[in-house]
Structure 1
Amino acid sequence: MAETLRIGGACGFWGEAPHATAQLLAGGVDVLVYDYLAEITMSLLARAKARDPGAGYAPDFVTDAVTPNLIEIAKSGVKLLSNAGGMNPAACANAVRAAIDAAGLSLRVAVVEGDDLMSRAEEYAGVSEMFSGAAMPQRDKIASMNAYLGALPVVAALRAGANIVITGRCADSALTLAACMWRFDWGPGSYDLLAAGSLAGHLLECGPQATGGNFTDWEAAGDLARIGYPIAEVAEDGSILLTKPQGTTGTVTRASVCEQMLYEIGDPRAYLLPDVICDFSRVVLLQAGPDRVSLTGARGRPPTGQLKVCATYQDGYRGGMVFQMNGRNAGRKARAFAQAGLDRARARLRDMGAPDFTETALEAFGGHPGQGDYQEIAFKAAVRHPDARAVGLFLKELTGTALATPPGLHFFTGAGRPKPTPVVALFSFLIEAADITCRVTLDEDELAFAPGLPSPPRETLEPAPQPPAPETGGEQATVPLEQLAWARSGDKGDSASIGVIARHPDALPRIWAGLSAEVIAQLFEPELRGEVQRYYLPGSHAMNIVMTQVLGGGGIASLRNDPQGKSFAQRLLSLSIAVPASLIHRMEGVAE
């Protein structure tokens, strides 16, 4: 039987539940990977480091993941790879070493540095944002500037004997890829294998999202409190089998795993990573047993030779509140209340000679119709302004209007009036990989490290595949898309993507035809400012939809109720699609 490497995905974001490490250790793994970082997380860690030079990392890795499990980690020989170092990998490593010493153990800790470019920010003052073309913000507004590193520095640390490797910013999947390259001695030019290792990392990087979390058919996951975290069994030939610890809840099916494969990848034929350009369009997923899914067919090409850099910067302030309204014409009453607060605040700004708000958002969501004209609705009112005092003025006037409101206003709060918060915006750009100097240390000893930087050949891709023409003729039926497909959505900056997987292969041509760019644009017309792109994945009978300029800036920069597009898939699944009645009959009895 071919050797396999069992890698557990123990963390998908800073703040996730702390029990995954113990669960995966009990389930039997060789390596644990932890992804703590998002773009906004970097800005938060940068501010923490500015206040305390010993801070700036994710302390949960030390207190929740490592310290309670150190004896089992040492006993089993499991390797731990984590980007918990954030803005201060060395301080994170020192905290881990202190915990190891306190436990009377001997484990070697390595640190990867070089992603933090704040000291070189002036060098990049003239670059443009890679998506919007905007100019680089002023230096005094920038909170963080980090390049996405690849797998090779982590491989060097593992080859030198590290038990625990702590990095700053790296590609989310790079930790898993590094483990595979170390164990199987994959070279930096074995691009198909690198793509497979990156696919395994992409499946693990969001924790239980591959095992029933955030899944369209979420009922199949059972008791979410006991959901199992993912384990990728990777073979030397790059084949992957995804599973979870026995005795846990959740579900591992072609659908749950494919939702995660499509999550936030953009063009599936050109998923750009520091070490490889991945093509997941022809990946085939097969149910290999209960809670076991095999994946084969990932392909890779040479990397671009460039690295993505994400800077975060302060872009004014925002503030708002969510309140409820009920009764007759609840939506109209809620908007009248919010507009009154906004009008009062604007009048005060004019009296002071201050500029107007740069952006406002009055947004209704939810709603429960009752008997007759009775309704219940939630409503959000929010503003942005360069000056925190102007935002505070709006919040004061909004709450101060509460006695002059239409009837039915109510809300829950335990901390008084909301307060203005800084807007942290994202600025992304590309640099040459050769511009980065990585430093790898193992227990304070610096390791010799010289990553290879291949010159990618010019390649001409074949035309993008297109699905076959849909069936025509016969009796037609109109059904919700959810009856035909699974879907999941996510974000990249101000863009949103929705992966759609056909429940039956024969349904994909109809789904593709029904979800035209025009139909999608119309559905998201209130938000969409950019374009709609569609990509076909013949291997998984799926499509990926990418919408640009649809999230109001995205993340903390957005005033939207859903600034990361997490609910977009649910909106799409509510659309009706016309299909042959014979297809519905073929789909009956097909289960995942």
Structure 2
Amino acid sequence: TGITLAVMMASFDWAEDDYDKLATGIVAGHILECGAQSTGGNFTDWRKVPSFDVVGYPIAEISEDGGVVITKHEGLGGLVSVDTVREQLLYEMGEPKNYITPDVIADFSSIQLEAAGENRVRVFGIKGAVPTDLLKVSVAYEDGFKSEGTIIISGPDAREKAEKFAEIFWSRVGTDFEDHLTEYVGLNACHRHLAPLKESNEVLLRFAVRDHDRSKFERFRRKLPALILSGPPAVAVTGGAPQVRNVVSYWPALVPQDISTWEVTVFDGDDVLFHETGGWPKTGGMPVPAAIGESGGTVPFSTETKRVPLKAIALGRSGDKGDMSNIGVIARSELAYHFIGTVLTAERVKEIFRGLVKGKVERYPVSNLLAWNFLLHEALGGGGTLGLRIDAQGKTLAHALIAQEFDIPVDVLASVES
């Protein structure tokens, strides 16, 4: 996001205290930062994307007054719509009112969107506030080792055979690792209990371990290839012995701005073309208290209902920050937004993801985008490189949530269809 803002400040000579414009640059950067995710990639309504052949990356057309239009190259695949942009705005969102950067606190609850032609979306109304006097420091450090390995098991009775293989494997290898995991890919490895369990004709059996003692991994590596010759039938190897990888963990911290300086040097060979150094402007802004837990209002709904997946009235996008997953649930109509607010509480989401989410769940309204943002703490088994799950970053969680069935009022369904 900062890279996008820097170009705007340099091109338009925006002042360091013109916070609405600075917030506009941050929002534009957030839309651009994950490439094709805002032009049809990972889009809930993927069937609406005309073509995924050479998907065009997003382009932000910026004017000096802070106007923003999101588009893409003509003639390439993908789709730019209000919904593709809404999904990307919810991606990796924290508190909507407090998107904190060193230059500005951008208020994502102020963003307005409107269609501005084919594959064009206007972004406007963005507000910004004085940044804090802190900087975020991200520390990466070595934190042990991990390894994973797989075998493929075919039917008949693939599930039963996979469970027997897992029993055999761990009895031989032992479970004295700091963390170990078995996943049956093809039998709800991503969504676990959130999806109905159906028999599969083949299962990718996945084992993973993590520990600080590298010597433990030798027996894990040796025992896995041997497993295919000493268990139930119709099994095949998917590769050689598992590799042992270093775990690099992540630790974020905040430090006062005044302990750091910045320095920029531009070289042409050995010649210095530009050199400048400096500090940070005195700020000291504070985040705005969040409207956590706000309800969806008191809008009346029809008593006649139909039991369907939440996807019928909502889009979904999930992201990660460390060991926290965020899930944006984006309503397809204003009435659907209010209904979702009444039934999808933080407590309900915590219950739905029981066993996967160890920490608290927070809910934030994003009414300007007709969305609700959920923050799921301690949801990723340590997160990123530390976690052992096949979906270590929780990218599939939003679609597990919107696949859940609810009794939805018929007038809410009608508001979406219209």
Q: Which letter does structure 2 place at the counterpart of 1:562?
A: D
On the 8 A contact 1:496/1:551 being kept in 2, the answer is: yes
Determine the C-alpha separation between the residues in 1 that align with 2:128 and 2:200.
57
In the alignment, what sits opposite 2:263?
A: 439
Instruction: Report the CA distance shift for 1:410/1:193 in structure 2 as closer, same or farther (over 3 A).
Output: same
1:329 deviation in Å? 4.2
Q: Which letter does structure 1 place at the counterpart of 2:407?
A: A
In the alignment, what sits opposite 2:163?
A: 335
Instruction: Report the CA distance shift for 1:183/1:394 in structure 2 as closer, same or farther (over 3 A).
Output: same
On the 8 A contact 2:129/2:285 being kept in 1, the answer is: no
Instruction: Report the CA distance shift for 1:586/1:462 in structure 2 as closer, same or farther (over 3 A).
Output: closer
Q: Which letter does structure 1 place at the counterpart of 2:241?
A: R
1:459 deviation in Å? 6.8
On the 8 A contact 1:341/1:394 being kept in 2, the answer is: no
Residue 354 of structure 2 is aligned to residue 525 of structure 1: yes
- Corresponding residue to 2:60 among 232, 236, 257: 232
- Corresponding residue to 2:212 among 386, 408, 412: 386
Instruction: Report the CA distance shift for 1:373/1:287 in structure 2 as closer, same or farther (over 3 A).
Output: closer
Determine the C-alpha separation between the residues in 2 that align with 1:492 and 1:457.
23
Determine the C-alpha separation between the residues in 2 that align with 1:466 and 1:278.
23
Instruction: Report the CA distance shift for 1:239/1:469 in structure 2 as closer, same or farther (over 3 A).
Output: farther
Determine the C-alpha separation between the residues in 2 that align with 1:280 and 1:511.
20
- Corresponding residue to 1:402 among 228, 231, 234: 228
In the alignment, what sits opposite 1:181?
A: 9
On the 8 A contact 2:151/2:237 being kept in 1, the answer is: yes
Determine the C-alpha separation between the residues in 2 that align with 1:395 and 1:471.
60
Residue 93 of structure 2 is aligned to residue 265 of structure 1: yes
Instruction: Report the CA distance shift for 1:588/1:332 in structure 2 as closer, same or farther (over 3 A).
Output: same
1:557 deviation in Å? 0.9
Deviations 1:504-558 (Å, cap 9, x if unpaired)? 1110111122222222112221211111011111111111111011101111111
Deviations 1:30-66 (Å, cap 9, x if unpaired)? xxxxxxxxxxxxxxxxxxxxxxxxxxxxxxxxxxxxx
In the alignment, what sits opposite 1:484?
A: 313
- Corresponding residue to 1:365 among 165, 179, 185: 185
In the alignment, what sits opposite 2:249?
A: 425
Determine the C-alpha separation between the residues in 2 that align with 1:297 and 1:547.
29
Determine the C-alpha separation between the residues in 1 that align with 2:90 and 2:263.
33
1:333 deviation in Å? 2.3
Higher strand proportion (structure 1 or 2): 2
Q: How does 1:122-201 map onto structure 2 within 5 Å?
A: 173-201=1-29
Greater CA deviation, 305-314 or 452-461? Answer: 452-461
Deviations 1:346-387 (Å, cap 9, x if unpaired)? 29xxxxxxxx2110001223249xxx9774222211111212
Determine the C-alpha separation between the residues in 2 that align with 1:466 and 1:296.
26
Determine the C-alpha separation between the residues in 2 that align with 1:425 and 1:456.
30
In the alignment, what sits opposite 2:284?
A: 456
- Corresponding residue to 1:551 among 376, 380, 383: 380
1:583 deviation in Å? 2.3
Instruction: Report the CA distance shift for 1:324/1:183 in structure 2 as closer, same or farther (over 3 A).
Output: same
Deviations 1:484-506 (Å, cap 9, x if unpaired)? 11111111111101112111111
Instruction: Report the CA distance shift for 1:243/1:207 in structure 2 as closer, same or farther (over 3 A).
Output: same
1:458 deviation in Å? 5.2
Determine the C-alpha separation between the residues in 1 that align with 2:383 and 2:261.
31
Determine the C-alpha separation between the residues in 2 that align with 1:459 and 1:227.
37
1:239 deviation in Å? 2.5
In the alignment, what sits opposite 2:193?
A: none
Determine the C-alpha separation between the residues in 2 that align with 1:313 and 1:248.
41
Instruction: Report the CA distance shift for 1:327/1:215 in structure 2 as closer, same or farther (over 3 A).
Output: same
On the 8 A contact 1:308/1:429 being kept in 2, the answer is: yes
Residue 368 of structure 2 is aligned to residue 542 of structure 1: no
1:446 deviation in Å? 4.7
Deviations 1:163-196 (Å, cap 9, x if unpaired)? xxxxxxxxxx001101111122211111111111
Structure 2 residues not aligned, in runs of 5+: 189-197
Structure 1 residues not aligned, in runs of 5+: 1-172, 348-355
Deviations 1:81-119 (Å, cap 9, x if unpaired)? xxxxxxxxxxxxxxxxxxxxxxxxxxxxxxxxxxxxxxx
On the 8 A contact 2:249/2:386 being kept in 1, the answer is: yes
Determine the C-alpha separation between the residues in 2 that align with 1:428 and 1:447.
30
Matched position secondary structure for 2:413: helix
Residue 203 of structure 2 is aligned to residue 377 of structure 1: yes
1:567 deviation in Å? 0.6
In the alignment, what sits opposite 1:245?
A: 73
Q: Which letter does structure 2 place at the counterpart of 1:242?
A: I
Greater CA deviation, 403-412 or 221-230? Answer: 403-412
Matched position secondary structure for 1:403: coil
Query: How many residue pairs were aligned?
Result: 404
On the 8 A contact 2:335/2:412 being kept in 1, the answer is: yes
On the 8 A contact 1:367/1:376 being kept in 2, the answer is: no
1:284 deviation in Å? 1.3
In the alignment, what sits opposite 2:108?
A: 280
- Over the aligned positions, Cα root-mean-square deviation in angstroms equals 2.1
Determine the C-alpha separation between the residues in 2 that align with 1:286 and 1:558.
39
Matched position secondary structure for 1:252: coil
In the alignment, what sits opposite 1:475?
A: 304
Instruction: Report the CA distance shift for 1:460/1:273 in structure 2 as closer, same or farther (over 3 A).
Output: closer
Determine the C-alpha separation between the residues in 2 that align with 1:308 and 1:568.
27
On the 8 A contact 2:295/2:341 being kept in 1, the answer is: no
Q: Which letter does structure 2 place at the counterpart of 1:556?
A: T
Higher helix proportion (structure 1 or 2): 1
In the alignment, what sits opposite 2:195?
A: none
In the alignment, what sits opposite 1:254?
A: 82
Percent identity of the aligned residues?
A: 36
- Corresponding residue to 2:408 among 575, 579, 585: 579
Deviations 1:173-222 (Å, cap 9, x if unpaired)? 00110111112221111111111110001111111111101111112223
Deviations 1:121-165 (Å, cap 9, x if unpaired)? xxxxxxxxxxxxxxxxxxxxxxxxxxxxxxxxxxxxxxxxxxxxx
